[in-house]
Amino acid sequence: MPQIEIISPVTGTVWKIERAVGDTVSEGDVIMILESMKMEIPVEAPESGVLTSLSVEPGNSVDEDQVLGRVEA
């Protein structure tokens, strides 16, 4: 099954992780919330499947277009 990357839409900080590795997610489910310029930006599952990895944790700084994790579709 293909591994789909979860990409950061903005430069910011990981504020909260909403899902854990191994969780089943549907397309559009919120995986984590980033904080950027005092705004909360949800990062959603790009496809339905199983969350197979997360490469960040709360407090980490992230760049726009950085891979945050993967979903196995």
- State pLDDT tens for residues 2-61: 999 999 999 999 999 999 999 999 999 999 999 999 999 999 999 999 999 999 999 999
| Residue 69 confidence (pLDDT) | 98
| Residue 47 confidence (pLDDT) | 96
Please tell me the pTM assigned to this model.
0.93
Contacts of 63 (CB under 8 A, 6+ apart): 8, 11
Domains parsed from the chain with CATH numbers: 3-58 (2.40.50.100)
